[in-house]
Structure 1
Amino acid sequence: MDNQTNSAPDRLLFLTCFIAIVTTAFGFILRAIVLPEWGVQFNLTQTQLGEISGVGLWPFAISIVLFSLVVDKIGYKTSLGFAFICHVTSVILTVTADGYSTLYLATFIGAIGNGVVEAVANPVVATMFSKDKTKWLNMLHAGWPGGLVLGGIIALLMGTDVPWEYKIALTLIPTLVYGIMMLRRKFPLNERVQAGVSYKEMLQEVGAVGALVIVAIIVFQLGEVFGWAIWLNVAVIMLITLLFGLYTKSFGQPLFVILLVIMIPLAVTELGTDSWITDLMTPAMTQIGLQAGWILVYTSAIMFVLRLFAGSIIHRVSPLGLLAICSLVAAVGLFFLSYSVGVMILVAATIYGFGKAFFWPTMLGVVAERFPKGGALTLNIIGGLGMIAAGVIGAGVIGFVQDSSIEKGIRDYDMKQNTELSQNYITEEKTSIFGDYRALDQIKFENASETEVATIIEIQHESKKEALRYIVIFPILMFISYMALIFYFRSKGGYAAVALTKQTD
């Protein structure tokens, strides 16, 4: 029963939510580590492996948004219990899988559980620590990099000789811990509910425009998965947005819509570039005799420590000021990374790690502080949008830039060396939502000579680093946006959290 109201914060309940976030990270990192083994054992194509990776992300956004609409009705403990069942079921299905279909279903169920965890944890922590939301949301989301570090280290130390089933089963450890801990905890009523803010008023904070943004990106992702026609996507988006607008009679809070839009480049900068950086580190890490996976553990450790100590920083700098500084630092880190070689790659990655450390939880904190009437919905929509934007927009645009950059690098090499690599190994023109492009033909590339392979691989490495310079535009846009918001709030007397007072009839 969710019946804790105005009592002191329950630190054990916070720890329960923290460990639940750790569980989501365990599932993510362990799946990433064993994915190549699935390809070999079950004879999966790269496309199938990519689909399994993708289904570990997009259902998260759907479940976090849908549960945010009903979580106050069905209760936080019941919802977290559902997430526990999802995580246990996902592990059991995975370790007993016999092929692609079972692995896909297991990953889908796990992603649903991950979304429910955040749908519960974010509003619970924001409610318990209503006077210091940004600090405690940063500490809560230290569980994500903390889980990546712990799960990654254990799995990497187990080595390649240990069957992958044992590595996946590690997820049961934090799952059982938070499952047992939540049984004796009393979950608070959301501050929106305590203040007497109606369900309709919560929806009005999002409004028709906010609904349009989140519904559009979710429907287009579902359309890509299920092969829906474009007209059907548009029709569904417009219908849902229209019904939402008619019911709420609100366009939404302008600032909330602006924050939704800013969340897209934030997600691309933080999550979208992670796979690039790991891939980019591979040659340098190999030279010093380490697996490339350790670089993800290293940058995650930086994020873990910084998020735990976010409170002392936020007391000196406003949340928007912190986001602006981090955007600038991340831009510098990505730019240096695009030029670095050898050990300097690690230095650049460190700068980038410092930059991205506070992005996600501090944005959640700003939304929680400025839109308490939005309750669980506004808080979790921003997180759901970020996650799906990282997969839909981030992966797409970074892939597009990478393909275009590699194609340009091979053409430039042909012009300088009078070769025909472009003619022999580049595909015909393809079309994407980001524009027309040509890419490396992987089938033809398999038959290339050793000299050609070495040349093209070198061009790939350089082109990927060059492409990172284009990605720098995202944190720069964020920096400009946050500075504009800082000046806006200064004109209004300064940034301050909005306090909810109990409404009376």
Structure 2
Amino acid sequence: MNTTTQPTHNTLFITCFAALVATSFCFVLRAFVVDDWGHEFNLSATQKGELLGVGLWPFSISIVLLSLLIDRVGFRAVLWVAVACHLIGTTTTLLATGYWSLYVGTFVLALGNGAVEAAVNPLIATAYRHDKTKWLNMLHAGWPGGLVLGGLLALAQGGGVDWRWKIGLVIVPVIVYSILLLRQRFPVSERVAAGVSYREMLAEAGYVSALIVAALIVIEVGRVFDWSLLLQGLLIVAATAFYAWYTRSPGRALFIIMLIIMMPLATTELGTDSWITSLLEPEVVSMGLQPGWVLVYTSALMLVLRLFAGPLVHRFSPLGLLALCSAIAAVGLYGLSQATGVAVLLAATIYGIGKSFFWPTSIGFVAEQFPKGGAVTMNVLAGVGMLGVGIVGSVLLGTIQDRAIGHSLAAHDAQHATQLHATYFTSEKTGVFGRYLALDEAKVNASDAQTRAVVDAVVAGSKKTALKSVAVLPLIMLAAYLLLLLYFRRQGGYRAVALTQSPPAA
């Protein structure tokens, strides 16, 4: 029987909250220095997008794999894996000498972030099983809390400080949650306490989910290591076939729908957040502010809203809240693509409100509807979100910018009889979407002041184009949530599914 007391639940919540703060430090500090990496190592916008992406998609490898093991190795062991990854990844990034060393360091940090979330989602869903969506929203307030704290610490260092000092700040919250781990007690997971078998847990997600996860992971790893299409196909088929043989279940249809929606959702929130410091730099700098203030501001909104999410969840239901936030986020993103001057802050406020409840409310919905799925359904959902934004979303935003820059330079040449495109848009790169040309940062930096001013204006316009394009994603999500609301209305309304606590037989 689970004998964990309420005071232990409170200290457990604090430990999980602190661990999530560490994951968001990795995220926000990378967003602050990605342009510094571009200048120092001559990276294209797409390469920067790939580095932002590798800060996200490896999360999915660790969160999915550890979800399969967590009930056997224990929550404590998984969180210590996270500590090791955070320390190793930070050290590797600080010693980076180019694109690939930055890639490896960021990859290991992302594995640590996945290990954190693999543990904290089922932990809090177990400890507060009677109000999961509320407490998962409160837990995930640790994410914007870390964005705000990490962002303020980075801003306090000023714009002229070497990027390594900013990345080094990751060590601070890692030490904090390591200390909290030393004496923490952990409960038995809800799935284990209810006697739900391991096979039943995997069957809730099903082999369709396994196909989606395997395809996304293998395609990206295959791109990095230059695997053949045949090898990639064989690995995807083998993984899916084994899962299908073991579970004999395609998975719950409602869960698979949520899994698909999670990819545009994650791009709307995390993909935009990865880029927002860079995307809004021209407008915010013109106001006399550092561009990082926009991310700090929207994160502060998210922190407050998530801490007080309970009444909204109870008033609208998880799906109703997700639909409302999708509409608000679409308006905010489109506003950011059009706004100038002080209007940027208004649009950022709307976007910040809209994105606040996406991630934890989606996990809470899955935890309430598929409790038999335990750690697997919650964490596969989060994993697919990270895979989608890391492999496609962040890179897509970078690719939109690269293409917009090329088109704008060509248009400027045609209008002014110049040769900017032929001179500066010459850097050959290879990415997820194949081979492409990008702006050569080294050549631009070596040009005269007038040329740099023209190119900077073109780059600023391309960033606006990226924000306008991503505003379509929450509209797609809105349509999906409205259809799901109609489905539940026909079923008699939204109700959480409860498991009876009954320990499995010996």
CA contact (8 A) 2:223 2:432 kept: no
Could you say what secondary structure the match of 2:121 adopts? helix
Question: 1:131 is matched with which residue?
Answer: 130
Say if 2:495 is the partner of 1:483.
no
Deviates more, 1:70-79 or 1:282-291: 282-291
Question: 1:338 is matched with which residue?
Answer: 337
C-alpha separation in 1, matches of 2:139 and 2:349: 22
Q: 1:39 to 1:454 in 2, by over 3 A?
A: closer
Say if 2:43 is the partner of 1:46.
yes
Which residues in structure 2 correspond to 1:72-83 (within 5 Å)? 72-83=71-82
Deviates more, 1:495-504 or 1:389-398: 495-504
Deviates more, 1:218-227 or 1:23-32: 23-32
Q: 1:228 to 1:428 in 2, by over 3 A?
A: same
Which residues in structure 2 correspond to 1:19-418 (within 5 Å)? 19-34=18-33, 44-46=41-43, 53-92=52-91, 97=95, 99-100=97-98, 105-159=104-158, 167-413=166-412
How many Å apart are 1:17 and its aligned residue? 0.4
Deviates more, 1:186-195 or 1:266-275: 266-275
How many Å apart are 1:471 and its aligned residue? 1.8
AA matched with 2:253: P
C-alpha separation in 2, matches of 1:453 and 1:31: 25
How many Å apart are 1:263 and its aligned residue? 0.4
What 5-or-longer segments of structure 1 have no aligned partner?
none
C-alpha separation in 2, matches of 1:424 and 1:88: 42
Percent identity of the aligned residues? 51
C-alpha separation in 1, matches of 2:235 and 2:301: 42
1:183-217 residue CA offsets vs partner (Å, 9 max, x unmatched): 32221111111111100011101111111111111
1:164-195 residue CA offsets vs partner (Å, 9 max, x unmatched): 66544433332222222223222111111111
Q: 1:501 to 1:162 in 2, by over 3 A?
A: same
Q: 1:267 to 1:278 in 2, by over 3 A?
A: same
AA matched with 1:12: T
AA matched with 2:339: S
AA matched with 2:226: G
TM-score w.r.t. the length of structure 1 is: 0.89
TM-score w.r.t. the length of structure 2 is: 0.89
C-alpha separation in 1, matches of 2:405 and 2:96: 37
AA matched with 2:154: A
Deviates more, 1:464-473 or 1:474-483: 464-473
CA contact (8 A) 2:42 2:441 kept: no
C-alpha separation in 2, matches of 1:181 and 1:52: 31
AA matched with 1:324: A
Q: 1:451 to 1:301 in 2, by over 3 A?
A: same
How many Å apart are 1:388 and its aligned residue? 2.0
Q: 1:180 to 1:482 in 2, by over 3 A?
A: same
CA contact (8 A) 2:28 2:274 kept: no
Could you say what secondary structure the match of 1:88 adopts? helix
What 5-or-longer segments of structure 2 have no aligned partner?
none
Could you say what secondary structure the match of 2:340 adopts? coil
C-alpha separation in 1, matches of 2:426 and 2:376: 45
Q: 1:31 to 1:348 in 2, by over 3 A?
A: closer
CA contact (8 A) 1:4 1:186 kept: no
C-alpha separation in 2, matches of 1:419 and 1:102: 37
Could you say what secondary structure the match of 1:315 adopts? helix
How many Å apart are 1:426 and its aligned residue? 5.2
Cα RMSD between the aligned structures?
3.0
CA contact (8 A) 1:13 1:182 kept: no
Question: 1:13 is matched with which residue?
Answer: 12
AA matched with 2:361: T
C-alpha separation in 2, matches of 1:437 and 1:163: 30
Could you say what secondary structure the match of 2:130 adopts? coil
How many Å apart are 1:65 and its aligned residue? 0.6
How many Å apart are 1:237 and its aligned residue? 0.6
Which residues in structure 2 correspond to 1:423-438 (within 5 Å)? none
C-alpha separation in 2, matches of 1:385 and 1:291: 33
AA matched with 1:377: V
CA contact (8 A) 1:407 1:439 kept: yes
Higher relative contact order (CA 8 A, sep 6+): 2
Could you say what secondary structure the match of 1:185 adopts? coil
Aligned length: 500
C-alpha separation in 2, matches of 1:438 and 1:85: 38
C-alpha separation in 1, matches of 2:213 and 2:223: 16
AA matched with 2:81: F
